Structures are given as C-alpha cells and as structure tokens.
Chain A
Amino acid sequence: MAASGVEKPRIVITGLGGICALGTDVSAIWEAMRAGRSAIGPITTTPLHELKVACGAEIARMPDHGIEHKRLMAMDRFSLLAVIAAREAAAQAGLSLDADASARAGAVIGSGVCGWEMIEDNYRGILLEGRPRANIFSVPRGMTGAPSGQVSMDLGLRGPVFSVTSACASGNHAIASAADQIALGRADVMLASGTEAPLIWGILKGWEAMRVLAKDTCRPFSADREGLVIGEGAGVVVLERLEHALARGATILAEYAGCGLSADATDIVAPTVEGPAAAMAGCLADARLAPEDIDYINAHGTGTRMNDEIETRAIRLVFGDAADKLSVSSTKSMHGHCLGATAALEMIACVKAVTDGIVPPTANHRVPDPACDLDVTPNVARVREVRAAISNAFAFGGTNATVAVKAYRSQ
C-alpha cells in the first residue's frame, strides 16, 4: 500500500560496506560478482563433526581489522562482521560525527539467527566437557541485538539503534526500517545492515534436517538445482536524507526508492505466489515506479525447487510483459544464502548494478528450466543500463520484503 499524498523526503545511498565469502570489502565482492565467480566450497573454518553437509560460502580469512582484544572478546562473529562492514560503509560515506551529528545518526541491523558461536561453545563445554559455567559473554555475545550495539559503539552512533529479525528477509526489513527512521525525521543518517555467521555445527545441523541443502553448490533457476548453500557475511548501506548529503558534499551512489512489505500468512516454511507478489507490487507503488522502469531484479533465488519456481510466477504476475525485458539474477549462487545478511549483500549487487551498468550473473547455471523462464543472466554478467533495481527477500515465516533503488538524478 502506497502512502499516497504523504510527501516523503528523498533518501540517498552514500556508502557501502561488505564482507562475505566473495571478499572482505565491496570492491572485492563486486569484482567476484561481475566475474560470476562462486565462492561456494568445502567448509574449512569450523568443526563439522559428523555433519553430512560439507559445503558453504565461508570467509576463509578475516581481514586485519585491528579491533582491540578487549572489544573483540565481547563480540560473536556476526557482530564482528557487522562492525567490519559498517566501518567500510561509514568511511566511504565520509561520515564524521561530532556530538550533534552523532545524535542524528543511527543503525538498524538485521539478523535471522543470533550469535551462535558462544552458544555452541557453551553446550559443548558444559554437556560434553563438564565445564561448570557458561562463558560470561554468553548473553552480550549471543543476543540478536548485539551487532547494532557494537556498531553504534564503534562508530559513535547515538540516534536510533536497534536490530530487526525476519529470518532470511532481515536485511531488507532493516533497510526499510532504517529508511523509515529518516522519513519520520528521527535521523539524518542511518546505517542499514544485515549480518549473519551461521556456519556452525548446531545451525547447519538444523538446516540439514530440513533436507533443503545442496550437496555441491547452489544453482538457482537451473533445472538441476538441488537446494541452497548457507553462507556468512555482512552488508551495510549508508542511507541519508538527500539535503543532508548535499549539504556536506557527499558522493551520492544511488537513491533509495522504496520498499514493499507483506506476509503470506499461510505456512511457516511453504511460500505462496501472492505474498511475494504483494511485496513487489507494494515496492513499485511505494517507489512510484512502473514495472517497465525496473531493469534488474536481484531475486531471492535460493536454489530450492520451490522458491525459484514460485518467485518466477510472482515476478510474472507483477511485471506482466515487462518481465521479459528485465534482467534477473540470484547472486546467492556466488555468496551463498547468508540468511539475515543476504539481502544486505544483495543490495550491494543492486547499487553496483545501477552505478556501473552491469547485471551480475546467476553462477552455476547449467540447464534452463521451463518453470523459471525469465532472463536469469546465466553465468555471464550482462552490460546494460540499470535505471532502477529491486531486491527480493522472502523468508521462512512468510515474511516478505522487497527494496528498490534507482539511479540518482538531481531532479
């Protein structure tokens, strides 16, 4: 539902940050995406014990972040990833926050799970090794809100700071909610992010039980797709009120155009066509864009049989004839499904597609599927003008969020 008649402030994107299996900063991530290079492979950084699943999209080596020991001890991996990506985004945006400005700057961070490293360590330590106590950092490291608090401390953000959660749509709900803080006049600058570090035995064991994981790699929209591959990472966009960005001479990368939020209200895992379609249609209405204005859809594209087929139908339902003119891809084929972080990483793909005029491909695609008959940009990036792009995120729980960005024009 568009809030017609309400004049909303224009919101622009002035910074990006990211870390995932594809690279530890945005330029490395984008370079890999453009090249269609999948980072999915054997998991090596975490003990898998007797797990059958052995592939994932892991950050094989962390960058030299220089965060002091005292602060590091209080962070689970999902917080650390968020802080690393937030620093990059804030640096690109050129934010310098004095006391006044910091009260008008905040962060909304999405995570679908929580900080599981310490939880895992506690269960193993207490139940298997007879340790008497849980680690003292269990609560501050594990809580789902930890990354937003850690990012605020690291960057000195004193405005609205909180976390949101909606499983695999968390990143897009975070972006939408961060934009709302600016639209409601509560902040001038908001970091919007998703972060997740789920490559841990306990979490993978749960996913394994659902039998939705691919054995070798993720092949969205390919007829021989077998399922999803879990990845880890964090993505951050700096959202800013246009006048604020112009007044401080910031470089504007793209414009946040709007969002559409919906729920299937049917089943905790099985998706519908109508829910995702409502999110996409709502996003177009909120962004005041027509179907033919969209050149690129970064699909939810998990690589499960059901998602990719249903998403194709939902796109056709909303876009009609325009569906055959736009480019679609699933970058999960390269960075894996990073759960609560995934939409934030996919927003990097959308912003870069708009700024660089390049649609990143769907990697690992082998066999066209008549049930997924859109232009899914198989394996090779496509050079084309991208005036506007949408990013889909459809989560377990039937919670759907689509976000639109468009090229920035001064008028």
Chain B
Amino acid sequence: MSDELAATIIGKIKTHAAPEAGEITLDTRLDELGIHSLELTEIVFELEDEFGIEIETNAIDAWSSLSNVGDLVEAVRGLVGTRA
C-alpha cells in the first residue's frame, strides 16, 4: 500500500528530474534530483490535485525540511491521512 503512494510520487518526480538524474528511490536525496526547489513545490501541487489534499503554507518554505524522497512520501501520506 505504501509502495503505491511511493511509486506515484516517484513517477511524478521522474517527469521533472534532470535527464541525468538516474535511478530514483526513497533514499534519493532531493538535492540530487537536479530539481529546483520551486519545481519540487510544483510536484507537491500536482500531488495535491491527485489526492485531494491541500497544503496551507507558502510555496518557497514549504518543503525546506525534507531531505529525501522518502520524507516527501511520508509528508504526503500524513496529509492524506488527515483528510481521511
């Protein structure tokens, strides 16, 4: 079940990552994806649409505390859980 959410998020990240980014796993550091911090926020917005969640925070600071893909997955899972 957790894998489904993770796979969705990794799939989204792949469409935005730098062509040379290579394999993406839960342990991949966000700063190694070659993705601008604002673009990462854009990915989160796409996840909002997909899962019907809403993040009340400002775009630039939103995800500064996350360090790897797994952190992002868990953050989204938390919000999805709250909604439920």
Contacts and interface: CB of A to CB of B under 8 A. Distances in A.
Interface residues of A, number: 12
Contacts of A137: 36, 38-39, 42
A69 B34 contact: yes
A68 interface: yes
B19 A69 contact: yes
Interface string B1-39: 000000000000000011110000000000000111011
Interface residues of B, number: 14
B39 A133 contact: no
A370 interface: no
Contacts of A136: 38-39, 41-42, 45, 59
B50 to A, nearest CB: 12
A289 interface: no
B36 A132 contact: no
B49 A69 contact: no
Interface in B45-61: 45, 49, 59
Given A68-B34, A73-B36, A74-B36, A135 B19 contact: no
- Contact residues of A: prevailing secondary structure: loop
A140 interface: yes
Nearest to B46: A133
Most chain-B Cβ atoms within 10 A of its Cβ — which of A70, A135, A137?
A: A70
- Contact residues of B: prevailing secondary structure: helix
A176 to B, nearest CB: 34
Contact of B35 (A70, A133, A135, A140): A70
Contacts of A52: none
Interface string A55-81: 000000000000011110110000000
A69 B18 contact: yes
Interface in A393-411: none
Interface of B: 17-20, 34-36, 38-39, 41-42, 45, 49, 59
24 contacts: A68-B18, A69-B17, A69-B18, A69-B19, A69-B20, A69-B34, A69-B35, A70-B34, A70-B35, A70-B39, A71-B36, A73-B35, A132-B49, A133-B45, A135-B42, A136-B38, A136-B39, A136-B42, A136-B45, A136-B59, A137-B38, A137-B39, A137-B42, A140-B38
Interface of A: 68-71, 73-74, 132-133, 135-137, 140
